[in-house]
A and B are shown apart, each in its own frame.
Chain A
Amino acid sequence: MRVEKCYFCSKSVYPGHGSAFVRNDAKVFRFCSSKCNKNFKMKRNPRKVRWTKAFRKAAGKEMTVDSTIEFEKRRNVPVRYNRELVETTVKAMKRIAEIKQKREHAFWKNRMAVAREKLKAHRKRKLEKTSVKLVQPITPQAEKVKEKIKVAVKTRSALVAGEGRSMGMEID
């Protein structure tokens, strides 16, 4: 069982997925999906189709030379099964994937650095030109926390208790 790479988009093709085409010169083309298959039948060159890895690598948008890529080379020599070897290989694969990701991120950052510098310079220039000046926003005053305090208030009701008959009001 092998996880192959799609000929067109370079995605990993797991068992049970995709199709394969064998040309009469015995060259095998593996595809991850009918999308790639149909593009191939249309005789499109993957190096010119923008969304493929082949294009990105050819256009310098992705890391091509790196020691981590050497680990993914195809090996045709079978190795005798050894449980420890499998364990260490799996661990190594994870670690290598981490390192690869970090390096790819660094590569991307490097690539974007030029654009970022341009953007910053552009923003600075624009700021100097306009009449509207950006000022620090006024910080709102810290709201005074209102506390509820109980105040003893003498309630002076104008109502006076009547002599058992009715409630009368005695107003001075």
Chain B
Amino acid sequence: MIGLKGTLNVIDNSGALLVECVNVLKQKVNNGWGSVGDEIVCVVRRARPISGQASASAPKVRQGDVRRAVIVRTRKAVRRPDGRFIRFDDNAAVLLNNKREMLGTRIGGVVSADLRMKGWGKIVSLAPKVV
């Protein structure tokens, strides 16, 4: 249940560390709660410090950027079709650009298997562990 002001950890290598949700992008409603697999508009609150040299995994985002992201883990339990409820230890997201493509190139950590059902197969395939 991510809504306005909700903070999420960023688990890809785009350079951001913490983002704050500003808007939940759902088909019919502008507000409401975001769950796993929902796209959100967020503000980068904390980012990795930009180094002088241009490295391969140079941080692409800076603090204060407004970007889009997709929620991959929530602390609130999500119901699976077999009736089980799964919850994670924290709220996490992966940054995207306006065309629903990932900004980072790698993902570190567990992601929820509900992503596949919502159409984020690319992220699922990149993730080291899917539960």
Contacts and interface: CB of A to CB of B under 8 A. Distances in A.
Interface in B68-113: 73, 77, 82-90, 109-110
Contacts, number: 42
Interface residues of A, number: 13
Given A24-B90, A24-B109, A19 B131 contact: no
Interface string A117-159: 0000000000000000000000000000000000000000000
B37 to A, nearest CB: 16
Contacts of A18: 84-85
A26 B130 CA distance: 8
Contact of B89 (A1, A16, A17, A22): A22
A16 B110 contact: no
B82 A19 contact: no
B50 to A, nearest CB: 26
A21 B84 CA distance: 11
A19 B85 contact: yes
Given A1-B82, A19-B87, A20-B84, 4 more contacts: A21-B88, A22-B87, A24-B110, A26-B131
Which 4 pairs show the lowest CB-CB distances between chains A and B?
Answer: A16-B83, A19-B85, A26-B129, A26-B110
Interface of A: 1, 15-24, 26, 28
